[in-house]
Structure 1
């Protein structure tokens, strides 16, 4: 009878002697960058009841992870991960253990040597950011292996989102080098996207076209979605707002889909192509807006799944709209489809990764970054093409109006030039239009004042005379009152033709100064030469008959001339004032005469 108790005691001692670790061989920590995905085991805890002591029992159903990062998609379970790492060298090996996914609610990390607990951390985006042992967007903890030491590391992951945990063990220098490069890449991405958003926002303020506003909102939502998913927003924008950190991902993802819908609707003019497709896009937009509101009321787990499914629906609807616009030969549809294909392909990869269909790797993690950057560049080109098209049409209309009144032959020459040369010429002609009086074809007052300052400076340097001549149509109000405003316009045009005929040299300027008043600017002209020009113009005006419909009449002009040398202390406006005073003297002396003043 004594044999049975002894046998039972022996069995219990043997069971206790079985080591807790029953996984694979210990992995050396010598590499400065070690992906741990293929070296860890995982255990599902659907009831959330297993403790560290429980999972160290050798009778549990641990499974070996694949070469890909651990990823179980959306589920309600807790997940235990374990690995055994050793330092075969004679020197201590300080390392950083990184969990490379920012959207995990709760992470418990335990470091053990045998049965002795050496280190323990509680991390996750439900914890305030300042509690992290290493200031980083991902979850990073320091672990040091003494010479010849073997450690077991256990992680418990519980999250309402996608349960994935890419694990990497880093040497300190290697970690900071790679993180520096990643930071540069992130800075390039976010800086580039911000620049594109600001560029299009400025265009919106100039053009007041809501397409650009929706596009800016789409870019900002995309950037904020990726910043929230990558942990950068939690690191730099809302370190203490743990509740909002969860909501932000759902909020900005739904906002991205909403603005994608409304931008596609307006940019491709879908409502004018297909009423039904327009209704579908509006419904998609409304649903996404509703999900933005629902994000504050629904559990994150369900809100995230619903938003991701709705994003897939939005992708399908937008692609269908793009194909429809492409078949309808909308000018920007081809670039639109190429841009959205890149973005949506990246989004599809990320969504399938979140759902556990695709593995977690560099491509799946950054596919949306790559796609959204290329998409933003291409759509900005499409919007710029739209601006250029509208501007080209506007310039063309202005050029045609100017051609009809002055230089029809130049338009024929312009149309045979290349598009680049044509655009440059249109800009030049637009400048000319801004300097020309539309009624008379003479230079306007703005151009006159510019040329007056230029000739003033030149004549001042060379000490050459400068003449300013002001001409006013006598009794012009009576012409309008008696014959009508069309007759008045015809009168001004005929006087303008005579004034234009008074020009002698390319440097001379004839301009409409205002109302029925004209101005001649004659550089390097003395008072006698100016008086001759003024008298010739006065005589020609009085000699010509203005013919309008059934009426015919003549008009006269009064002229004030001032000639002088530009000297220090004087201004171009002084010449205008003195010519105006001479004009006033001609009016007071009976009109239809020339008064010359010199200084």
Structure 2
């Protein structure tokens, strides 16, 4: 009787899953409401907007569809499309959430709007908060839109334009459909977790973990994890797919080993599951320490053979006459087909966003429901045997739990060490060895609060190398990097006080925070710095070079309640006054 209850429950959940699939078929955001004519440009080196906008020698190539797909590549791709004015608000949507860097430039007659997107940018800085990438197209505006993309994932750029109302309607329907899918996964995870608590059978616990990790993988694939669960974690967004993918295969191998009792039938296949688990651990380590490009290829190489091996295991036990092995084989066969379709989509073999984004969801949903049913049947058949051996099994289980807890503690300590090292690197500019812009922002706020609280002076210097673009254009970026390193050394040597903080703000621009310094003191320091740089000959591979710098100086007016933004803006304006008025000088405000 209980078996029919499980079958009925699975049938209901499958019906909901089919409803999800149908809803997504009608709300695919990669289908554009308006006809789009895309042109693309491939470059092995990074280009700027001026390189492609003002250069008549750029050879644009026309795309056959609005769903650009270039597979895994290290090249930078530019897209161009012309947007006509409409009398209603629209949204331009790039329906792929795994692009590392996506810069969008909307060139209009009077202005250029720039959007810096990508999953390496903080989520809440997006102009429209969606799991993919969207920018508004206000009514009555037209122009030429350029997009540059760089990614370690598959280079897929499905572009669509919809009216604002239809876009958000489709988003709502898509979220509802995805809610059904992840609701099914959560129900299965909680249901089997309760089964584990009630029965103490490890199959239930492993299957619950498997379902959760698979849910994490799908959240990473669809960009929903970055939107709802870890919007402030760029590390997890970058590593989520290989991390959750490797953990999914690890728990799948352990679950299959525990469920099927292969050691009672064929030890060779049982060892194969351990090999699969070991490879999953290695894949997990690769996911943490290697780049995304390396780890995702390792995961994709392991995914299809791993599913195929589990399929072989199920088929072998099916031939042995085990009833539940039939459903196990069908479940893994369904997932294998969906994983293969998804992998081919990422590799650019299948040019179908719908297959890539939904096949694995549909296949995994069916597979998870069927495996849950298999688990229930297996548990009922083995219940008497388990009850007879309960005491012995509990002792073995306790030992395994202690061992896994110890391994987890070791892994957590190692992960903590890695996170500490990554946090240190996050505050360091890799070229100059100075603090980076992120550290500058945090430290300026900290010094501002201290100065405001203690009513102490605080000065800020913004430093920029004069005519640095000419140096790069004439001698190359390598020589420019050597000059940047030399100037960084001079700045660091000049700022001798413990409270002086030197940061590379970006490009050829540097920032120096001078705590407990009045404007007169900061100006004197800046003047000496300008003179020292003017007299210094910087060693490069093309010979010694002289440069000059311009400096803007501003002091915090804490009595007037001046903010860090006002202070930075004042120093920045002073810097650009110095450049406008002849460079190689200091300007104060």
2:72 counterpart of 1:74: yes
Q: Say whether 1:128 aligns with 2:126.
A: no
In structure 2, what is the equivalent of residue 405 of structure 1? Answer: none
With normalisation by structure 1, the TM-score equals 0.57
Q: 1:304 aligns with which of 280, 287, 296?
A: 296
Shifted more, 252-261 versus 264-273: the winner is 264-273
Q: Which runs of 5+ in 1 are unaligned?
A: 1-30, 396-599
Partner of 2:62: 64
Q: Give the structure with the higher percent helix.
A: 2
Structure 2 partner of 1:97: 92
The alpha-carbon deviation at position 295 of structure 1 amounts to 1.6
Distance in 1 between residues matched to 2:194 and 2:312, nearest whole Å: 30
Residue 266 of structure 1 pairs with residue 266 of structure 2: no
Corresponding residue number in structure 1 for 2:245: 253
Partner of 1:290: 282
| RMSD of aligned residue pairs (Cα, Å) | 2.4
Q: Which residue of 1 aligns with 2:307?
A: 315
Asked if 1:367 corresponds to 2:359, the answer is yes
Name the residue aligned to 1:39. Answer: 37
Higher relative contact order (CA 8 A, sep 6+): 2
Match for residue 178 of structure 1 among 167, 170, 173: 170
| Equivalent position SS for 1:93 | coil
Deviations 1:46-81 (A, max 9, x none): 122454433553433322223362111211111101
For 2:369, the equivalent position in structure 1 comes to 377
Q: Once the two structures are superposed, what CA deviation does each residue of 1:87-137 show, in whole Å capped at 9, x if it has no partner?
A: 3xxx623111111111111010011135x5431100111111110111111
Q: Distance in 1 between matches of 2:292 and 2:131?
A: 21
Q: After superposition, where does 1:232-243 map in structure 2 within 5 Å?
A: 232-243=224-235
Partner SS, residue 138 of structure 2: strand
SS at match of 1:295: helix
Q: Any idea what SS the aligned residue of 1:169 has?
A: strand
Cα distance in 2, alignment partners of residues 378 and 346 from structure 1: 15
User: In 2, are the aligned partners of 1:86 and 1:145 still within 8 Å (CA)?
Assistant: no
Describe the shift of the 1:275–1:36 C-alpha distance in structure 2 as closer, same or farther (beyond 3 A).
farther
Q: Residue 104 of structure 2: which of 99, 109, 112 is its match?
A: 109
Asked whether the 8 Å contact 2:100–2:150 carries over to 1, the reply is yes
What secondary structure, in the 3-state scheme, does the structure 2 residue paired with 1:296 have? helix
Q: Deviations over 1:364-399 (max 9, x none)?
A: 21111111111111111112222333458899xxxx
Rounded Cα–Cα distance in structure 2 between residues aligned with 1:289 and 1:157:
32
Structure 2 CA distance, aligned partners of 1:293 and 1:393?
A: 38
- Contact 1:126–1:242 (CA under 8 A) maintained in structure 2: yes
Structure 1 position 264, deviation (Å): 2.0
What is the distance in 2 between the residues matched to 1:36 and 1:281?
A: 50
- Taking the aligned partners of 1:59 and 1:296, their CA distance within structure 2 comes to 42
* 8 Å contact kept, 1:222–1:252: yes
Separation (CA, whole Å) in 2 of partners of 1:312 and 1:375 = 15
| Distance in 2 between residues matched to 1:205 and 1:351, nearest whole Å | 36
Contact 1:37-1:65 within 8 A present in 2 as well: no
Flag structure 2 segments of 5+ consecutive residues without an equivalent.
1-28, 388-589
User: Structure 1 residues 38 and 277, CA, compared in 2 at 3 Å: closer, same or farther?
Assistant: farther
C-alpha contact 2:30 2:353 (8 A) present in aligned 1: no
Counterpart among 182, 191, 194 of residue 186 in structure 2: 194
Quick check: 1:68–1:361 contact (8 Å CA) kept in 2? no
* 3-state secondary structure, aligned to 1:168: strand
Contact kept? 2:345, 2:353, Cα under 8 Å: no
Q: For residues 250-309 of structure 1, what are the alpha-carbon distances to aligned partners after superposition, in whole Å with 9 as ceiling and x for unaligned?
A: 100111111222222222222222222222221111011122122221111111111111
Render the CA deviation track for 1:311-356: whole Å, top value 9, x for unaligned.
Answer: 1221221122122122222221110111112222112111111111
On the 8 A contact 1:108/1:121 being kept in 2, the answer is: yes
Shift of 1:243: 1.8
Kept after mapping to 1: 8 A contact 2:30/2:160? no
Of 213, 220, 229 in structure 1, the residue corresponding to residue 221 of structure 2 is: 229
| 1:151-194 residue CA offsets vs partner (Å, 9 max, x unmatched) | 21110011111111111111111111111111111111111110
Give runs of aligned pairs for residues 200-599 of structure 1, distance below 5 A: 200-390=192-382
- Give TM-score, length-normalised by structure 2: 0.58
- Which of 115, 131, 142 aligns to 2:136? It is 142
Equivalent pair of 2:253/2:274 in contact (CA under 8 Å) = yes
Residue pair 1:32, 1:174 contacting (<8 A) in 2 also: no
* Structure 1 residues 211 and 394: CA distance shift in structure 2, 3 A: closer
Go from structure 1 to structure 2 and tell me whether the alpha carbon gap of 1:214 and 1:37 turns closer, same or farther (over 3 Å shift): farther
Query: Which residue of 1 is the match for residue 554 of structure 2?
Result: none
- The separation in 1 between residues aligned to 2:189 and 2:386, in whole angstroms, is 26
Change (3 A) 1:66 1:326: farther
Q: CA deviation at 1:145?
A: 4.4
Aligned length: 360
* 8 Å Cα contact 2:94/2:158 also seen in 1: yes
Structure 1 270/63 Cα, relative in aligned 2: closer, same or farther at 3 Å?
farther
Deviations 1:380-429 (A, max 9, x none): 1112222333458899xxxxxxxxxxxxxxxxxxxxxxxxxxxxxxxxxx
Q: Does the 8 Å contact 2:30/2:94 carry over to 1?
A: no
Write the distance in 2 (CA, Å) between the matches of 1:185 and 1:36.
Answer: 24
1:37–1:69 CA contact under 8 A, matched in 2: no
Deviations 1:523-575 (A, max 9, x none): xxxxxxxxxxxxxxxxxxxxxxxxxxxxxxxxxxxxxxxxxxxxxxxxxxxxx
State the shift of 1:206 in Å.
Answer: 1.5
Q: After superposing the two structures, state which structure 1 stretch, 339-348 or 189-198, moved more.
A: 339-348
* Structure with max Cα Rg: 1
Q: Distance in 2 between matches of 1:280 and 1:237?
A: 35
